[in-house]
Amino acid sequence: MSTYQVGLTGGIGAGKSVVGRIFALLGVPVYDSDSRAKYVMTTDGILMSNIRKEFGELSFNPDGSLNRSYLGDLVFRNPDQLEKLNRLVHPRVAADYEDWVAEHAHHDYVIKEAALLFESGSYKQLDHIVLVVAPEPLRVNRVINRDRGRTADQVRRIMAQQWSDEEKIKRADSVIRNDESALIIPQVLNLHEKFKARSDQPGT
């Protein structure tokens, strides 16, 4: 029996990480693709070598840690550079994720949380996709209040590089609305029970 795999995604400021933490509190293993990617980028020797070759020695600090500000400025100003970085990172993170799933195979289901689940195409390998959505003005306010020093224009530029909610909704199996007019926890609990019930069915 293969492990039931749920994808959790949402644009910047939508609240997917909050939803992920609620699932984690319910005892569900949650793979945080963003943090795991950062980990892999500083521990995977092959990937580190390829990043240096593609983006130069400035990609890493003298202590060996990733120079996030340098790479961030580089890729968000140039979509081609972002695509190059993603082509290097995604296959290595995908391998890390497969190992992680195998380690958690005894659970009813697992969650892969990723900002670029649709953009990377990795949603196609998952059994069910949960999308967190919120109105753009609310998302912008959340991010500039959370990330000191980041401007509204910077947030909108990041949004412009991500798929629109309309595009994502067409491909999502479930949608959680995080617009302050609906409570998040009941929506998460409903999905949790649904996924648990599905895993209890014979042959799943």
The CA-atom distances, in angstroms, between 30 and each of 57, 115, 136, 154, 155 are 33, 14, 26, 28, 26
Among 11-25, 43-57, 79-93, 124-138, whose mean pLDDT is lowest?
79-93
- The total of other beta-carbon atoms located within 10 Å of residue 189's CB is 14
Q: What's the confidence (pLDDT) of residue 121?
A: 87
Q: Name the pTM for this structure.
A: 0.85
Integer-rounded Cα radius of gyration of the chain: 18
Rounded CA-CA distance 36/171 in Å is: 25
Q: What is the mean pLDDT of the chain?
A: 91
Q: What pLDDT band is residue 199 in, cutting at 50, 70 and 90?
A: low
Alpha helix (H) ranges present in 78-183?
79-103, 136-146, 152-160, 165-171
Domain ranges across the chain: 1-29+109-197, 38-103
One-letter amino acid of 164:
S
* Phi, psi (degrees; rounded to nearest 5) at 43: -125, -20
CATH fourth-level superfamily of 1-29+109-197: P-loop containing nucleotide triphosphate hydrolases (3.40.50.300)
Pick from 22, 10, 203, 195: nearest CA to 110: 195
Task: Select the highest-mean-pLDDT range: 73-77, 89-93, 175-179.
Answer: 175-179
Residue 204 has pLDDT above 80, yes or no: no
Distant-in-sequence, close-in-space partners of 114: CB < 8 Å, separation ≥ 6: 7, 8, 9, 33, 34, 120, 122
Dist. CA 121–CA 132, nearest whole Å: 17
Q: What percent of the chain has pLDDT over 90?
A: 67
pLDDT at position 21: 97
**pLDDT of residue 147 exceeding 70:** yes
Nearest to 16 by CA among 125, 143, 108: 143
